[in-house]
Amino acid sequence: MAKAFKALSMHDDEKIPMSTHAELSTTEQRKILVAVDFGLFCTCQQMSINHSHCHWQELHTPVLLGYKLGMQTSKEARFVVRSWDSSGQGGTAEKVPTTLVYDRADRSTPRWGFDVDEMEPKHEWFKLDLDPTREGGRSELAVQFPSFLPSPRQGVSTIDLVTDYLRALRRHMDNYLQLTLPGNLAQKIPKEYILTVPAVWSPSAWDATLTCASNAGLGSKDSIHVITEPEAAALYELDQRAKLQLRVGDTFVVCDAGGGTVDLISYTVENVHPTISLREATSGSGQACGSTFVNRIFAKYLNDKFQNDPEWSDDILVEAMARFEVIKRQFSKDRRGPFQIRLFSPLRNDPSRRINRGRLSLTKKEIVGFFEPVVTKIIELVNGQIQSTQENVKEVILVGGFGTNVYLRERLQDEVAKTVKVKQSLEPWTAVVRGALLRGLAEIKPTFATPKVPSRVARKHIGVNIMNDFEEGYDPARIEFNTYSGKDQVKIMEWIVKKGEVVQEADPQKIRYYWERPKSRGRPTMIAMEIFDCSAGNAPVYKTDSVKSLVEAKADLSLIPEDKFDQVKGADNLWYYKVDYLLEMTCKSGRIDFALIYKDKKYDIVTAHYVTRIV
């Protein structure tokens, strides 16, 4: 593979106007936005903006580090470059695998992307391990059809793998901009990153993604923007469809079918003018049932068929998989077959196994058999989403790499209601990253006319375990005596948000706490609040086995002057500091933010420590 950095390429009518360089020379108010969507393959889109113009430069990649750069000026001049660079020698591609290989014991300067040979042991699929306990994260397909290639021997944590990959991305980005932008603008113009995450991930996995990105040098956790993948796709799709007579009340299901996971979310259009406003029609769903499982099912078929043949090897398998990938992408209900898989090996002719002159012949029925376990699961998810909306769904919009597959679209159209149309995204490979860039631009420049999602549907109950005065109906066996109040109390769950409720991003959830501490123990310096979630249909009154610890929110009270704390005498005649405060929780797309409100003053002093089992 040629690995020289590809030079700029443009058509004669796509020259950059002379005014562009002068415009770029003032950098005080400009930012370079970089949207990153990574899974089995990575996608990235960039835009450089200033505050007086909407944007003057746009860079985007169909998949991470396969950059496609288009510059926009006042004259709408454009040029296009497709280039990526993982080893410093360059290359071009539509997509780049999310893979890593460590050649050194200290794991410095790993090889990644296309520098990793597809036949060598490598780290892959590590993104999914950021949330190993998510519902569907270890799907039946994942258990039944594990990866067909060996993994490296090094024991590297998921956090380190994701961090190292994002660090490689960031270094490439820096180098690319240095080569692309005139002068030293790459150093002068600040960059902000927007990351995408699966909608059905837990908040702890969202936070872990931010931790990796921050450790990789993409910015502080507070400065990195986050948006869920299907929401990003919906923003882009409906922004484009606004020109196609989008109507209030239209409901769409967005199905982000990628290589590893399939994420679904539904939106109803609430407003069209002056900007598009959407609301979630139901809570999102998803599972690990992406296109890679079609490959894995085929790989198992080959291994079962040839494992006893002395000439069979992993090298032959990988070559066969490359040919199957082409068949998979082109497959549709109308394709008849037979389908030929070239086997680069001395496997002898064997009519009983349909091998002739080094080629394995597959029937259409067999190809369908490789698809169906995966497609059936996606159909189940899509129909479940349609039924949950309780709305008249107009369209199912397919995005993601697997979303381009004709057979998947045809099968979905066969199985959904006749009134529902299954459509392919206008930009299936890049809808997520394009929408993420729109979100980042809207957050930096709120007047930018992009679709808005002001509310979302809670996927779980979220609450706290608090002491409450004993009342009739509470379990007497749970009574605890409070020496401060002198009353019998019971620990109950106070639910801040209940599953299925509509949560407004602009209207943070608040819960009132009071916390007392004997004066003899010194002034308050830290408050720790444990927050729980629960997936059960009905929110329990007490902390049961279905209630799981989600996050510990810690507030640093050392910044609040001591004389601001109330001092009261308890029922036990001891003096106490009493802190009566509100915990504020803001639910956004892909993140939850916390703050403390004390005596009507808001303090951004709360840090969240999520409960996680990441290895």
Query: Structure pTM?
Result: 0.79
Distances (CA, A) of 424 to 163, 402, 585: 33, 10, 36
DSSP string, 118-186: TTS--B-SGGGGGSTTSTTTT-HHHHHS--SSPPPSS---HHHHHHHHHHHHHHHHHHHHHHHSSTTHH
Give the model's pLDDT for residue 93: 53
pLDDT in tens, 385-437: 999 998 899 999 999 889 999 999 999 999 999 999 999 988 888 888 888 88
Residue 177 identity = L
> Residue with structure tokens 């129909």?
383
Give the model's pLDDT for residue 375: 98
Cα(508)–Cα(583) distance, integer angstroms: 10
Gyration radius of the chain over CA positions: 27
List, in order of start, the domains of the chain with CATH numbers: 30-136+147-223 (3.30.420), 233-428 (3.30.420.40), 457-610 (2.60.34)
DSSP string, 290-332: -THHHHHHHHHHHHHHHTT-TT--HHHHHHHHHHHHHHHHH--
Q: What is the mean pLDDT of residues 442-450?
A: 75
pLDDT in tens, 28-85: 467 788 888 876 555 555 554 443 333 323 333 222 222 222 222 222 222 222 455 5
Q: Say if residue 90's pLDDT is above 80.
A: no
